[in-house]
């Protein structure tokens, strides 16, 4: 897959949107929650990432029935989901290999 | 803080502001509401991060608008990005014109200094106008610039293309393994 590996903020944004469509603030909170407060995106960084993901068609705008002014929800596209699956597969493989190598060897 | 953030949004290109300005203001407002419940130190840290993020974001968007490329800090989509196509940055002709202007100005300044030296100070070895004029220098500079640019473009194009091809070769087996 040509776009892998993903950077951590992009991976977390995609994971956040994999569950359900979310608007900007909800993505920020969810990313913070998933990373145990380690990754805190600023608003400027988040919207730079969202613009790029929209341009690459990994995410799309999602029209909510009850959306307040100034709130726009986003959701994963089929392509975004496919890339996320490939990245998760890559990470699983890496974790498996690393776990085998760091496990204590039998004497 | 909210007022300052709104002013900082004006640093973004107009197109970005039109598309995301209102949303970003909404997110900043929600963040401020949440921060109201926290301590002073947490508020300072968070506000500093927001201001820094907005400033970096504005610079990044201007770079992107001017060159069509993403500068990279923060969130590269992937860690090493190689493009199969070659893009000529739009800012290059502007930069080259500025450099050329500076060179022409330096030449003119040198001529003015030469003219201001009294004829008695011949040990400097005055440059004769017949040997050194602006037009041939300009043409020579332009030709040399074109040649250097063409060589650099060819090298960059060859490197990117070969990188893209190598990635394509690597991609096929990787995809098969994820599908299994």
Which chain A residues contact residue B56 at CB under 8 A? 44-45
The domain in which residue A30 lies consists of: 8-102
A3 lies in some domain: no
Average pLDDT over residues A73-86: 94
CATH number of the domain where residue A31 is located: 1.10.10.10
A20 lies in some domain: yes
Higher pLDDT among residues A4 and B23, named by residue: B23
Phi, psi angle pair for B61, to nearest 5°:
-70, -35
A35 lies in some domain: yes
pLDDT score recorded for residue A1: 58
CA closest to A3 among chain B residues: B78
Which chain B residues contact residue A52 at CB under 8 A? 70, 75, 77
Res B33 pLDDT > 60: yes
CA closest to A48 among chain B residues: B57
Chain A touched by B16 (CB under 8 Å): yes
**Cα(A17)–Cα(B29) distance, integer angstroms:** 22
Q: Which residues pair with A61 in a beta bridge?
A: A74
Tell me what percent of the residues of chain B surpass a pLDDT of 70.
Answer: 66
Which chain B residues contact residue A47 at CB under 8 A? 16, 20, 23-24, 57
Higher pLDDT among residues A101 and B125, named by residue: A101
CA B99 to chain centre: 15
CA closest to B76 among chain A residues: A7
Average pLDDT over residues A19-32: 93
Sheet containing A59-62, strands listed edge to edge, beginning at the edge strand earlier in sequence: A22-23, A73-76, A59-62
Q: How confident is the model at residue A98 (pLDDT cuts 50, 70, 90)?
A: very high
A2 lies in some domain: no
A107 lies in some domain: no
Which chain B residues contact residue A90 at CB under 8 A? 178
Chain A touched by B20 (CB under 8 Å): yes
SS (H, E, C) A31-99: HHHHCCCCCCCCHHHHHHHHHHHHHCCCEEEECCCCCCCCCCEEEECHHHHHHHHHHHHHHHHHHHHHH
pLDDT score recorded for residue A18: 94
Instruction: Please state which of the ranges A53-62, B13-22, B150-159 shows the lowest mean pLDDT.
Output: B150-159
CB contact under 8 A, B178 and A85: yes
Distances (CA, A) of A20 to A14, A16, A30, A58, B109: 10, 8, 11, 14, 65
Distance from CA of A47 to the nearest CA of B (A): 7
A26 lies in some domain: yes
Count of domains observed in chain A: 1
Closest CA to A18 of A94, A64, A75, A98: A75
Instruction: Please state which of the ranges A66-70, B16-20, B77-81 shows the lowest mean pLDDT.
Output: B77-81
A1 lies in some domain: no
CB contact under 8 A, A9 and B74: yes
Chain A touched by B48 (CB under 8 Å): no
Distance from CA of B106 to the nearest CA of A (A): 41
Chain B touched by A95 (CB under 8 Å): no
Closest CA to B23 of A36, A52, A20, A48: A48
**Cα(B57)–Cα(B126) distance, integer angstroms:** 53
Q: How confident is the model at residue B136 (pLDDT cuts 50, 70, 90)?
A: confident
Which of B25, B75, B178 is opposite residue A48, by nearest beta carbon? B75
pLDDT score recorded for residue A82: 94
Q: How confident is the model at residue A90 (pLDDT cuts 50, 70, 90)?
A: very high
A14 lies in some domain: yes
Res B169 pLDDT > 60: yes
**Cα(B110)–Cα(B177) distance, integer angstroms:** 67
Chain A touched by B9 (CB under 8 Å): no
pLDDT score recorded for residue B157: 76
Res B167 pLDDT > 90: no
Which chain A residues contact residue B172 at CB under 8 A? none
pLDDT score recorded for residue A26: 94
Q: How many CB pairs under 8 A join A and B?
A: 102
pLDDT (tens digit per residue) in B72-88: 444 445 544 455 555 66
Distance from CA of B148 to the nearest CA of A (A): 32
Q: How confident is the model at residue B36 (pLDDT cuts 50, 70, 90)?
A: confident
Q: How confident is the model at residue B127 (pLDDT cuts 50, 70, 90)?
A: low
User: Which DSSP string do the residues of B126-138 spell out, in sequence order?
Assistant: PPPTTT--HHHHH
């Amino acid at each position: 897959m040509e776009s892998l590996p993903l950077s951590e903020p992009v991976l977390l944004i995609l994971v956040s949107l994999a569950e359900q469509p979310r608007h900007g603030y909800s993505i920020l909170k969810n990313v913070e929650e998933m990373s145990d407060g380690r990754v805190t995106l600023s608003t400027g960084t988040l919207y730079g990432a969202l613009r790029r993901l929209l341009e690459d068609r990994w995410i799309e705008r999602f029209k909510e029935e009850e959306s307040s002014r100034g709130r726009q929800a986003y959701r994963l596209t089929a392509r975004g989901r496919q890339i996320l699956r490939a990245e998760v597969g890559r990470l699983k493989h890496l974790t498996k290999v690393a776990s085998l190598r760091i496990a204590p060897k039998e004497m | 803080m909210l007022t300052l953030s709104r002013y900082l949004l004006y640093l973004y290109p107009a197109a970005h502001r039109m598309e995301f300005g209102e949303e970003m203001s909404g997110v900043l407002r929600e963040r401020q509401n949440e921060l109201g419940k926290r301590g002073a130190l947490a508020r300072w840290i968070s506000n500093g991060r927001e201001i820094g993020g907005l400033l970096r974001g504005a610079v990044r968007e201007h770079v992107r608008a001017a060159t069509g490329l993403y500068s990279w800090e923060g969130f590269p989509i992937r860690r090493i990005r190689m493009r199969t196509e070659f893009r000529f940055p739009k800012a290059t002709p502007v930069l080259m014109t500025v450099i050329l202007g500076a060179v022409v100005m330096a030449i003119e300044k040198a001529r003015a200094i030469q003219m201001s030296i009294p004829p008695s100070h011949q040990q400097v070895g005055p440059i004769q106008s017949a040997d050194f004029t602006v037009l041939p220098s300009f043409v020579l500079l332009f030709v040399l610039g074109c040649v250097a640019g063409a060589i650099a473009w060819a090298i960059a194009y060859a490197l990117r293309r070969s990188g893209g091809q190598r990635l394509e070769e690597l991609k096929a087996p990787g995809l098969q393994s994820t599908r299994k």
